């Protein structure tokens, strides 16, 4: 959630930066500021009411001590009137606060000044590309056919037991999943991240805290009886560990890593571009989360970008990094780098990671703060990234490394799988 002080002091700038996300915010910003004036007026009335009530209470006490009970009783009548008025003022203030908050949660985060303008993925800026596109042998096939050929992933069985987008991993396919998870976790721990195993369901406050709610309500699986949401990413429970927490400056950086199942409804996802592992409703992902001092968050973003780059190099996958344009960014992000690997049999790029800086947007929702060197309480900055999401990594590994003799496993991963070829 955008900070109210930022909107008050930089209204034109906020509108201009939100326009990069193709959001016309002039009207809603005006409403927020109009309500803010009325809310502050109501706050002043409440403060004045309290001050008068406290003054009267002291006078009444003095009068009773002086034996002037009749005069004290006259003043008590005034305090009774003030109590009724205070209740009315509090209700007015609370209503304005809720009305203002309902508008604030509709506004996405403002993008960083470096974010390019654009409306869709076609307008993203390629900032790095690395690795050779493999030349496959004649007769090479996409990963969904490889999965069937080697009996390592069963999409039809998943459809039977649950539905489309919930595959079964079998034999060497199951071991490949487990190997990738351990590979990603071990690399993160070596890089200084602290491992967390989080719950797979969260409450509404947690979904609100990281910005999935109310923006992505329809994309999350909801357990109605318990009012809990299945997580779309480990970012949600891990970041919410620090909801309503005040850190010390010496705590930075906070670095956590978590493996989890992830659940996304992805309503309306059909066609060849989402076939096989390209888009699932349940998938595995290792997530890195950092909480950082505001002055160091963009330096940290580049460090996280470099870290994910290192993972893809170890997996020997051709990849590229894109800086997302305003129209392709998430609701909560200020700046996002997407990582895509090349899927040789499909002859297309597949997104495998997003690394983002949210600045104070999530922290403001969660009341995640720290004490600076002057003792002032300030909002932290939050960042996260996929390191990595498994399905499309698996798709690219299978497709790019296939041969008539089997599917080669990269050497960095082979010590985790226990085999170097899928046969």
On whether 351 is known to bind a ligand per the annotation, the reply is: yes
**Is 266 a known ligand-binding residue?**
yes
181 & 257 share domain:
yes
Same domain (yes/no): 72, 220: no
Check if the beta carbon of residue 336 is closer than 8 Å to that of residue 356. yes
Residue-level length of the chain? 423
Does the annotation flag 287 for ligand binding?
yes
* Ordered per-residue pLDDT tens for the chain, 423 residues: 999 999 999 999 999 999 999 999 999 999 999 999 999 999 999 999 999 999 998 888 888 888 887 787 878 888 889 999 999 999 999 999 999 999 999 999 999 999 999 999 999 999 999 999 999 999 999 999 999 999 999 999 999 999 999 999 999 999 999 999 999 999 999 999 999 999 999 999 999 999 999 888 889 999 999 999 999 999 999 999 999 999 999 999 999 999 999 999 975 555 556 899 999 999 999 999 999 999 999 999 999 999 999 999 999 999 999 999 999 999 999 999 999 999 999 999 999 999 999 999 999 999 999 999 899 999 999 999 999 999 999 999 999 999 999 999 999 999 999 999 999
38 annotated as ligand-binding: no
353 is in an annotated binding site: yes
Full domain range(s) for residue 11: 4-104
What is d(CA 14, CA 6) in angstroms, rounded to the nearest whole number? 8
Q: Has 384 been labeled as part of a binding site?
A: yes
Are 150 and 245 found together in one domain? yes
Instruction: Say whether both 129 and 41 belong to one domain.
Output: no
Alpha carbon distance 266, 179 (integer Å): 27
Q: CATH number for the domain including 46?
A: 1.10.287
> 214 preceded by cis ω (within 30°)?
yes
CATH assignment at residue 344: 3.30.930.10
Contact between residue 388 and residue 305 where contact means Cβ atoms under 8 Å apart: no
Q: Phi/psi of residue 210, each to 5°?
A: -95, 0
Bridge pairing between strands 282-292 and 222-223: unpaired
Confirm or deny that 278 is annotated as ligand binding.
no
Contact 297, 279 (CB under 8 A): no
Q: Is 264 annotated as a binding residue?
A: yes
Residue 113 lies in a domain: no
- The CB-based long-range contact list for 23-32 (8 Å cut-off, 24+ gap) reads 23/107, 23/108, 25/107, 28/103, 28/106, 28/107, 29/107, 31/103, 32/4, 32/7, 32/100, 32/103, 32/104
Final residue in a domain of this structure, among 79, 104, 129: 104
Give the SS3 label for residue 408: strand
Give CA–CA dist 35/102, Å, rounded: 11
């Amino acid at each position: 959630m955008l900070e109210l002080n930022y909107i008050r002091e930089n209204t034109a700038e906020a509108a201009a930066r939100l326009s990069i996300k193709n959001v016309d915010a002039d009207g809603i910003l005006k409403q927020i500021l109009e309500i803010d004036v009325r809310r502050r007026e109501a706050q002043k009335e409440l403060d004045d009411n309290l001050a008068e009530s406290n003054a009267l209470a002291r006078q009444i006490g003095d009068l009773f001590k002086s034996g002037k009970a009749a005069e004290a009783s006259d003043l008590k009548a005034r305090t009774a009137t003030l109590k009724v008025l205070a209740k009315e003022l509090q209700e007015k203030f609370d209503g304005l606060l809720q009305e203002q908050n309902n508008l604030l949660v509709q506004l996405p985060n403002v993008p960083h000044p470096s974010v390019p303008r654009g409306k869709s993925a076609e307008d993203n800026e390629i900032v790095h590309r690395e690795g050779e596109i493999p030349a496959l042998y004649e007769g090479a096939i996409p990963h969904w056919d490889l999965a069937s050929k080697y009996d390592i992933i069963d999409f039809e069985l998943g459809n039977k037991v649950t539905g489309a987008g919930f595959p079964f991993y079998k034999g060497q396919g199951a071991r490949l999943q487990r190997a990738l998870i351990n590979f990603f976790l071990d690399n993160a721990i070596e890089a200084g991240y602290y491992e967390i195993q989080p719950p797979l369901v969260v409450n509404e406050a947690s979904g609100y805290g990281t910005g999935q709610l109310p923006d992505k309500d329809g994309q999350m699986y909801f357990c109605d009886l318990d009012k809990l949401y299945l997580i779309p990413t480990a970012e949600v429970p891990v970041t919410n560990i620090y909801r309503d927490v005040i850190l010390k400056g010496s705590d930075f950086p906070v670095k956590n890593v978590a493996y989890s199942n992830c659940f996304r409804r992805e309503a309306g996802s059909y066609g060849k571009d989402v076939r096989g592992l390209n888009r699932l409703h349940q998938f595995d992902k290792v997530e890195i989360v950092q909480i950082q001092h505001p002055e160091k968050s963009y330096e940290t973003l580049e460090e996280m970008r470099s870290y994910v780059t290192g993972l893809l190099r170890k997996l020997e996958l051709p990849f590229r990094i894109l800086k997302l344009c305003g129209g392709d960014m998430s609701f909560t992000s200020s700046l996002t780098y997407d990582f895509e690997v090349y899927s040789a049999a499909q002859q297309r790029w597949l997104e495998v990671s997003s690394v983002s800086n949210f600045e104070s947007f999530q922290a403001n929702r969660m009341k995640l703060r720290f004490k600076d060197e002057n003792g002032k309480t300030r909002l932290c900055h939050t960042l996260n990234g996929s390191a990595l999401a498994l399905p499309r990594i698996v798709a690219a590994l299978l497709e790019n490394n296939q041969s008539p003799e089997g599917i080669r496993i990269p050497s960095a991963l082979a010590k985790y799988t226990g085999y170097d070829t899928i046969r």
